[in-house]
Every structure is written in structure tokens, then in C-alpha cells.
Amino acid sequence: MIRPRYERPTLIRHVAGMMNKYARVGALKPLSHVDGVPVARLVEQFGSPLFVFSERTIVQRQHELKDALALRFPRSQLAWSYKTNYLDAVCRVFHREGSWAEVVSELEFDKARRLGVPGEQILFNGPFKPESALDKAFSAGARVHLDHFDEILRAERVAERRGLHPKVTMRVNLAVPGTPAWSRFGFNLENGQALDAAKRLRAGGRLELAGLHCHIGTFVQDVDSYRQEAKKLALLANQLQRELGVRVDTIDLGGGLASRNTLHAQYLPGDQVTPSLAQYVEAIAEGLEALDAGAAPPTIVLESGRALIDEAGFLVTTVHATKRLPDGRRALVLDAGVNALVTANWYKHDVVPAQDFAGMPEPTVMYGPLCMNIDVLRDQLLFPPVAPGDRLVFKNVGAYNVTQWMQFIVERPAVVLVSRSGEPAVIRRRESLDTLVSQEELPPWLR
Amino acid sequence: MNVERLRELAISDTGFVFDPYSGFTFSVNETGRFMLQALKAGHAAEAVAAQLAEAFDLTPSDDPSRDVHEFILMLREQQLLPHDDDREG
Amino acid sequence: MRSSPTVAVTGLNATDNPGPGVAVLRALRAAPDFHGRLVGLAYDSLDPGIYHQPLGLSAAYLIPYPSQGLEAMRERLFEIHRQTPFDVLIPTLDSELPSMIALEPELAAKGVHLYLPTREQFDLRSKARLAELGARAGLDVPETRVLSDVRELYDVHKDVPYPFMVKGVFYGAVKVNAVDEAVHAWHQTVAKWGLPVIVQQHYSGEEYDIVAVGDGRGGLIGAVPMKKMLLTDKGKGWAGVAVKDPTLIEMTERFMAASHWRGPCEVEVLRTHEGRSLLLEVNPRFPAWTFLSAGAGQNLPWAVARLALGDAVAPMRDFKAGTMFVRISLDQVTSIDRFEQIASTGAITFEKEKDPP
């Protein structure tokens, strides 16, 4: 006799406005493999929770953006945003495919150099560059993006000491209607600060202004914002040429391109809202049409991080327990929490079971393992019944998690990269008690 | 267990449940429907769990006994079982 | 011309804030040369259109919310198409448009035809880009700001003086007189529709709405302007009358010429007391009062179904001004079996019980 498969029982009261059995179930398909490698095998081999990256997806996304740029611009360059994900292996994949490094601290600069990135292929950005950092950058031939007047002075001092006349890029902030002001970095365009800075650089005679850089925001879903940004930068470049005789060889439009994630304050999911990489590039190209036809066209640089890596990252987690809350919701206790998945604070992360499932989806809240009220990975979603030991996969977690994660209460999980031929390898080991205490000291009187 | 209210429920083959007392309607899955019928017939929790193990194909992680107790909790939540009821038995 | 296509229509939520589906279905049913079948696509088991027998629906199905993602929508539509093949799909809710536009090629491959704007046209009429649209079409528009940060709300009155409207990207508009009201409206809007939020100058005047269909090449197929005569407390028209004013048609034609809009839309115009005609917004779908167009002599839903099927539809300009609609609430009595069927299976077929025509 064939017996029906057992499912955990559900009893769902029909509530007005919630009477749609297709509200979730159709979308939910198990993700049992990452690039052909069974999730179950990954957990068996490397433990749970586990971050898994797909090299194939990283390469493919990067090519998509590179191709879109190459189609529109005679000269273009990607610079991998280190802070988005600076694991050596991930950076190496980007560099192998031709990306430069975009770093925002001395630590990141050193990490890029250690990985063998030539100085000339490093863009050094950010508001905090001590003299030691500027010294390294100029000596290595990196392109420094100047952020404020104090930095111009500091950079001039360093360059003079070294007897160098380095090319520099000026970071500009500008108003794009519809996106929140991003005015804390760089020199403001609208109030004339950027032009003043350009004049100041010329008067200083030590640093050669050769590039413009702007970054309009983060998770920008409206390509029109890039059109406006590009146009304003183009007009500034024209003005610099016309009024100061400064010719920029680089226009860097920063990053901020959205991934397929869905922000908490977003109604339609990312797959319907987020523009394609080609659409972003198209808008940038339209904006840059405002550039005066002159000598050699500048190199167009993008420092996109999230849009290239988010889809390549997965977080595999295991159901530790299930419980029923007094309000009727099902609660899951997972072995990964906000300590590992920082971006749960920003997104309604797409999460699916890693194995076949059955049963009616019901309102579910997903908690992590921390004994902290804030440890919530999804506060409300319709999810089918699962049991302890079942695996879940959070999708689109490649950006910012393995840099912003923290060691808190539990150790940070391992990270695995699945090669293009489908071979998994550890790229960061799971932490241990030794990792935790390796930086600690007991002072003599407490020994 | 006082199953008076359960006896009044209209339970269809599709898993649609209508409570004529409250006017509430519910959906239950196959196992939920099985449990409702068994509890309605007056079987105790452990007996229902044993019947489930008979009737369904279980995997090692399934635990009908845990699920029956949770289901009774859900029925209490929906006031289909009295809150001050004796332990199932 | 195919006279007996099967047409599926979404938005059966004919509640006090009605979706347009029932109106579109009624218009199709009322077209003398339509002899096809109608399928209703609903988001909730209690959508009143499911229970409206005079529509003569062949079947009704639940579909996933657009917020569930493209994949869910695709699968469900294909599944429904397997059970009840349909030739035309008319989505009627703003939030459906991005997914329907994305799915159009795949649906076409299955023989399901839509008559929709392109994504570029759709984006151009987004509330956030009203100023650009106005400039392109040569139409006067109210001062509008698109905000993504609540802090901007404290300064926006320098550009857009109080009172102004706080609008969500998809739906919803609240008039506010001061910053505390604006902040309150902001949070309510963001909670429901997310970012960005649109702030638009408020003018007093008379509002006119035009239901229209564009041919996708800059031409106007047909349009019927309407003045609301009675509003609900939610500001929804409960009665209205078709009006003649040629300016309204002319503005609609300009919008079509500038956008190359393909498909149905609702153009909202404000006639200020000073006599300015402002384009307030363009909704990318039929309005809930669409049935008036059929009554006034332009059956625009039927025109859209025929255009979707590839038929040529000659532009329509005549309609009977003075045609009115007066909405009614009525209680439809049904047995719980029907509710059970749709709630537990997500589908209901009426073929057997269909009333003879």
C-alpha cells in the first residue's frame, strides 16, 4: 500500500485580504544545488551554517557589465569595490577577469597589494587616508580620489616629500532629484566647491587633476538618476577644460547599482524593479553624450560591488527547532543569525528550502541562534512547514555580509567557493575559540 | 478532552473547514484533516499520533506526537478546544 | 476578426475601492460582437467579482500577488492557461504591469496576447517623472518632487508650498497642510508602497478623468472624459458623467503622441479655478469606471481585446456626452460551497452552471 507522505499539520484561518493560496507557494522552489553541487553535500563537507559563492555567477555578472560598457564606450574599466567583499578568493576572481581594485582604507589597500594588484590598478577612495596611506598610494602609482580640502593639503605634502607629481581624481557630490543627498563625500558641485577645489589643485602645482568621480547613493533603482549624474559630471568636465584647461582622462561614476534583493520598504520584489546592468550603462551613456567632443574620450570607470556579487552568494542554514508563537505564527530557530547575515536588516531576503517540501505555507518568522531579540532573519513570510535538520538557503547574500558580519556570541561560519567546473573549496575557514582569543591578552595581575 | 465544538465542524475533502458557531473558515492539510477527524472521534493525543504513523509515510525527522500536541494548541488558539480543558486524555 | 476569443481579466476586487476588472468584464460582455468566454483572475477568495454571476465567467482563478515575484506569476498563469486556454489577458492593476510587461513575450509564445505599453513607456508615466512627461508632451503639470528621505520633507515646501499632496509610487494620495501631517502621510505611504514618495503641489479646481487607449504609434484609438459627480469618503468616484470638453481629448492626444502609449490608461486632469489645465497623472490601466465608455459609445475594453488579437481598430471620436454612471452596492447571496472551492483549490469553473444567454 502506498501511504501518503507525512507533512506537519497546518490549520490556517481564512482572514480577509489573506485568502490566496497562491500568495507564496508558486514562487517557492527548493534550491537543492549550487552550480551543480548538492547543498546537502556542501553541509556534510563544510558544516552549517555556510556561505557559498558561485564563481560562475561572479564571472558572468562581471562580463555582463563589462560587455555593456564596451558596447558604449571606447575605453572603460571596472574596479572591484573591496568593501563589498574582500575575501582574497573573491577579489582574485574579479582581478583575473580584468577588474581593478577600489579600496577605501589603508587596510584594503594593503590587502590588494598583497594579492598582487599593481599600484596603477588601484583606485583609493574614501574620507580617511592618513599620510602613511597617501604615501603608499602615491609611491605605488595608485589613483587617489581626493575627498576634502584638508586632504588636498595632506596629499600635496606627501607628494612633495616624495618628489612626485601624481595624477589625482576629484570626488564630487551632486544633487540628483529623487535620490537622498549623498553629500558627505567629496566636493559639492552645485555650490561651486568642486570648481574651487579644481582651481586650488592647479594653483598648488603638485597634484595633477586628471579624473572626476561621483557616487550618488546606494541601491539606486532608477537608471534615470545615473543619466543625471553622468550629465552633470560631463558638464563639469567641459567646464574644467574650458575654464581651467584641465582635461580629465577618467570619469568614474562610482557604484550604487541595485541587486535583485528587495528592500524592507519596497513593495514589488527586486526581480521586477531592479534594472538590468545594460539599462544602467545605457542611461550613463546617454548622460555622457553631453561631453564636448574633444581629444581622446575619457575612460569610463564603474565601481559596482553589490550588483556584481550579491547574486553569487548563498547562505545555507539548518533548522534547529520549530515552535509555535502565542500569536499563531510558526517560528523557526536557525543556526545562522544576523551576526552572519547582516543584510537581513536591509532586505526581505529570498529564502527557500534546500530539499523538496510539502504542506501549506503559513505565516512564519525566522530567528537566528543568538539569545538576542534583534536576531530575526525574516519577520514575516509564508513558508511551508519544515522540521529540525532541514536546510534553508538565503539567496542574494554575496554583498557586504562577509565583510560586515561580526563575531558575536557564536563564531563566524566558513565560506566556500564553487569553481566554474563545479568544485567547492573553502576560501575562509570557520572561526573557532582560537580565532576569538588570538587577539586577547590577560594583563599580568589577572594571570 | 471536550470535543463538542469539533463535532460541529464541517470538514470537506478539500481540507476546507467551516465552524458554524463562529463563522470562521479554515484550511487544513491532509495530516491536519486526519488529526481533526481523529480528535473529533474522541481519540487521545497519543492514539492519534500512533494512527498517523500508521497512515502516513514518515521520515526519521517526523514526530507525529510533537505535531499532535502542537495541533491541539492551534485548536485551542482558535477556540475550537476549550482552554481550560484537561490534558488530552 | 475573431469574435469568440477567451479573455482573461484581473482585478476582481470590486470593493469600495474597486479594481477595474469587473467593469472591463462587463464591457466585454456588453460588446455586441463578442461571443467569447471570460475568465476572472483574482487575488483573494472574497473578491466580489468571483461571485458576480451576470458576468457569465467561465472560470475564476486565484493568482499570486505581483509582490511574490515574476516566477510565481509566470507559473500560475501558465498553469491556468493549461486548464482554461485564454487568448487575451487584460491586467487592470498598476502593480501588475511590470511583471506583465516582462512576461509578454513568453505569454505571446503560448498564444496569449496582451496590449500593453513597453517598459520605457510605463516608466515615463510614473508619478516620479511627471515633469519630464509634461515637458515632452507640452502639457502643464503641477510642481512635483520625488523624495527618498524623510529629511527632505522638511524643506520641500520651499519648492512646493503647502498644502501639497503626498503620493505613493503606485497608489494613494493625501493632502497635507503642515509638516507634521506630511510626516504622518509619509510614513503611512512608505509602509504601504515603499519609496520613493511623491510630493505634488495641490491646486483647487475641478478634476476630470479620461479613459483612453493608445495605439502604440502615437495615435489615440478612443477616449471618453468624465467628471465625477459623487465621491466616496476615499475619494473614489461613485457617480460621474461623460463630458464633451475638447481640451481633454486634445491633452490625451498629446500624451499619446509624446509617449507612443500602447494600451489602456486613465489620464487625470485638473482644471484650476484660474483656467489652467494641468496633467496630474496617467494611470497605466483602465479605471474602475471603464464601463461608462461602453455606455457612452466607445467600448474601449473590447477595442483593447481586438487590438491584442491583432485586429485593426479604427479610431473612435464620437461618444454621447451626458451618459452617466451611478454605482450601486448590492449584496450577492451565494452558498459557502463556492467560497470553499476557490479558497481551497484556488480555482472555480462555472461552465455547467452558466446561465443561458
Q: Which of A2, A9, A389 sits opposite B71 (nearest CB)?
A: A9
Cβ-Cβ pairs closer than 8 A, B with C, add up to 18
Q: Average pLDDT in the A366-389 region?
A: 94
% helix / strand / coil in chain B, to the nearest 5? 45, 10, 45
**Cell numbers at A383, concatenated:** 513558508
In a domain, B27, yes or no: yes
Q: Could you give the strand order of the β-sheet that contains C37-42, starting from the edge strand earlier in sequence?
A: C88-90, C6-10, C37-42, C57-62, C347-349
Using the predicted structure, report yes or no on whether residue C5 has a pLDDT greater than 70.
yes
> Would the CB atoms of C340 and B18 count as touching at under 8 Å?
yes
A321 touches chain B (CB under 8 A): no
The rounded distance, in Å, linking the Cα atoms of C108 and C115 is 11
Residue B42 belongs to what domain range? Answer: 4-77
Using the predicted structure, report yes or no on whether residue A65 has a pLDDT greater than 90.
yes
> Would the CB atoms of A9 and B31 count as touching at under 8 Å?
yes
Which comes out higher in pLDDT, residue C126 or A141? Answer: A141
Name the CATH superfamily housing domain A25-53+311-426: Lyase, Ornithine Decarboxylase; Chain A, domain 1 (2.40.37.10)
C92–chain B nearest CA distance, Å: 29
Q: Could you give the strand order of the β-sheet that contains C164-167, starting from the edge strand earlier in sequence?
A: C144-147, C197-201, C164-167, C173-176
Q: Give the pLDDT band of residue A95 (cuts 50, 70, 90).
A: very high
Chain C neighbors (3+ CB pairs < 8 Å): A, B
C339 touches chain B (CB under 8 A): yes
Residues of chain A with pLDDT > 70, as a percent, come to: 98
Nearest C-alpha in A relative to C78: A26
CB of A146 within 8 A of CB of A170?
yes
Q: What is the pLDDT of residue C355?
A: 46
**Cell numbers at A141, concatenated:** 602609482
Q: Give the pLDDT band of residue A371 (cuts 50, 70, 90).
A: very high
- A163 exposure class (CB count in 10 Å sphere: 0-12, 13-18, 19+): exposed
CB of A184 within 8 A of CB of A127?
yes
C340–chain B nearest CA distance, Å: 6
Q: What is the pLDDT of residue C357?
A: 41
Q: What is the pLDDT of residue A377?
A: 97
Using the predicted structure, report yes or no on whether residue C356 has a pLDDT greater than 50.
no
Report how far apart, in Å, the C-alpha atoms of A95 and of each of A82, A245, A425 are. Answer: 11, 34, 19
Using an 8 Å CB-CB cutoff, list chain C residues near A14.
45, 343
> Would the CB atoms of C343 and B25 count as touching at under 8 Å?
yes
- According to DSSP, the β-strands at A299-302 and A250-252 are parallel
Q: What is the pLDDT of residue C344?
A: 85
Per the DSSP assignment, residues forming a β-bridge with C345 are none
The residue ranges of DSSP E strands in chain C, in sequence order, are 6-10, 37-42, 57-62, 88-90, 144-147, 164-167, 173-176, 197-201, 205-215, 220-231, 237-242, 262-272, 277-283, 324-326, 347-349
Nearest C-alpha in C relative to B11: C340
Q: Which of C45, C72, C151 sits opposite A19 (nearest CB)?
A: C45
Q: Average pLDDT in the C84-104 region?
A: 95
Q: Average pLDDT in the A368-395 region?
A: 94
Q: What is the pLDDT of residue B88?
A: 45
Using the predicted structure, report yes or no on whether residue A364 has a pLDDT greater than 80.
yes
Tell me the average pLDDT of chain C. 92
How many folded domains does chain B comprise? 1
The rounded distance, in Å, linking the Cα atoms of A74 and C119 is 28
Q: For A126-302, CATH number?
A: 3.20.20.10
Q: What is the pLDDT of residue A18?
A: 67
Buried b (16+ CB within 10 A) or exposed e, A302-321: bbbbbbbbbbbbbbbbbbbe
Per the DSSP assignment, residues forming a β-bridge with C198 are C146, C167
Q: Give the pLDDT band of residue B84 (cuts 50, 70, 90).
A: low
Tell me the average pLDDT of chain A. 94
Q: Out of C70-79, C257-266, C299-308, pick the least confident.
A: C70-79
Quick: pLDDT tens for A188-203.
Answer: 999 999 999 999 999 9
C278–chain A nearest CA distance, Å: 22
B17–chain C nearest CA distance, Å: 8
Mutation test of the interface with chain B: which of C46, C339, C344, choosing the one with the most B Cβ atoms within 10 A? C344
In a domain, B87, yes or no: no
A13 touches chain B (CB under 8 A): yes
Residues of chain A with pLDDT > 90, as a percent, come to: 83
**Cell numbers at A165, concatenated:** 607629481
Chain B neighbors (3+ CB pairs < 8 Å): A, C
Quick: pLDDT tens for C199-223.
Answer: 999 998 999 999 999 999 999 999 9
Nearest C-alpha in A relative to C191: A265
Which residues does B contribute to its contact with C (CB < 8 Å)?
Answer: 12, 14-16, 18, 25, 27
> Would the CB atoms of C339 and B25 count as touching at under 8 Å?
yes
Quick: pLDDT tens for A15-55.
Answer: 776 677 776 555 678 999 999 999 999 999 999 999 999 99
Quick: pLDDT tens for C258-283.
Answer: 999 999 999 999 999 888 999 999 99
Q: What is the pLDDT of residue A380?
A: 87
> Would the CB atoms of C340 and B15 count as touching at under 8 Å?
no
Nearest to C265 by CA among C212, C209, C219, C208: C212
Quick: pLDDT tens for A290-316.
Answer: 999 876 899 999 999 999 999 999 999
> Would the CB atoms of B78 and A387 count as touching at under 8 Å?
no
Which comes out higher in pLDDT, residue C112 or C144? Answer: C112
Q: Give the pLDDT band of residue A12 (cuts 50, 70, 90).
A: confident
- According to DSSP, the β-strands at A76-81 and A100-103 are parallel
Domain assignments of chain A as residue spans, ordered by start: 25-53+311-426, 126-302
Dihedral sign computed on CA atoms, order C58, C59, C65, C71: negative
Mutation test of the interface with chain B: which of A2, A6, A383, choosing the one with the most B Cβ atoms within 10 A? A6
Quick: pLDDT tens for A171-186.
Answer: 999 999 777 788 999 9
Cβ-Cβ pairs closer than 8 A, A with B, add up to 75
B60–chain A nearest CA distance, Å: 10
Using the predicted structure, report yes or no on whether residue A128 has a pLDDT greater than 80.
yes
Question: Which helix (DSSP H) or strand (DSSP E) does residue C186 occupy?
Answer: helix C179-193
Q: Average pLDDT in the C70-80 region?
A: 92
Using an 8 Å CB-CB cutoff, list chain B residues near A360.
27, 29
C335 touches chain B (CB under 8 A): no
Q: Average pLDDT in the A216-228 region?
A: 92
Q: Tell me the fold of C143-201.
A: Dna Ligase; domain 1 (3.30.1490)
Q: Which of B27, B31, B67 sits opposite A14 (nearest CB)?
A: B27
Which residues does B contribute to its contact with A (CB < 8 Å)?
Answer: 17, 24-32, 34-35, 52, 55-59, 61-64, 67-68, 70-71, 73-75, 77-78
Q: Average pLDDT in the B51-78 region?
A: 91
**Cell numbers at C114, concatenated:** 496582451
Quick: pLDDT tens for A149-159.
Answer: 999 999 999 99
∠ CA A291-A295-A296, rounded to 5°: 85
Which comes out higher in pLDDT, residue A76 or C70? Answer: A76
Using an 8 Å CB-CB cutoff, list chain C residues near A261.
none
Identity of residue C273: H
C309 touches chain B (CB under 8 A): no
Q: Tell me the fold of C121-125+204-326.
A: D-amino Acid Aminotransferase; Chain A, domain 1 (3.30.470)
Q: For C6-114+330-353, CATH number?
A: 3.40.50.20
Using the predicted structure, report yes or no on whether residue A384 has a pLDDT greater than 70.
yes
Q: Which of A178, A266, A268 sits opposite C128 (nearest CB)?
A: A178
> Would the CB atoms of B61 and A390 count as touching at under 8 Å?
yes
Using the predicted structure, report yes or no on whether residue B39 has a pLDDT greater than 70.
yes
The answer to whether ipTM exceeds 0.90 is yes
Q: Out of A6-15, A70-79, A129-138, C280-289, pick the least confident.
A: A6-15
Question: Which helix (DSSP H) or strand (DSSP E) does residue A106 occupy?
Answer: helix A106-114
Chain A neighbors (3+ CB pairs < 8 Å): B, C
The rounded distance, in Å, linking the Cα atoms of C184 and C285 is 29
> Would the CB atoms of B56 and A14 count as touching at under 8 Å?
no
> Would the CB atoms of A263 and C195 count as touching at under 8 Å?
yes
> Would the CB atoms of C152 and A272 count as touching at under 8 Å?
no
Q: What is the pLDDT of residue B85?
A: 54
Q: Give the pLDDT band of residue C353 (cuts 50, 70, 90).
A: very low
The rounded distance, in Å, linking the Cα atoms of C288 and C295 is 14
Cβ of A179: how many Cβ atoms within 10 Å?
Answer: 25
In a domain, B28, yes or no: yes
Domain assignments of chain C as residue spans, ordered by start: 6-114+330-353, 121-125+204-326, 143-201
Quick: pLDDT tens for C133-182.
Answer: 999 999 999 998 888 888 888 989 998 999 999 998 777 889 999 999 99
Q: What is the pLDDT of residue A24?
A: 52
The rounded distance, in Å, linking the Cα atoms of A229 and A242 is 20
Look at the block and give the residue holding cell 509602509: C191
The rounded distance, in Å, linking the Cα atoms of A213 and A172 is 6
Q: What is the pLDDT of residue C354?
A: 45
Look at the block and give the residue holding cell 504513523: B53
Using the predicted structure, report yes or no on whether residue B79 has a pLDDT greater than 70.
yes
Using the predicted structure, report yes or no on whether residue A81 has a pLDDT greater than 50.
yes
DSSP assigned state of A244: I
Report how far apart, in Å, the C-alpha atoms of B65 and of each of A8, A416, B38, B51, B61 are. Answer: 11, 38, 14, 10, 12
Residues of chain C with pLDDT > 70, as a percent, come to: 97
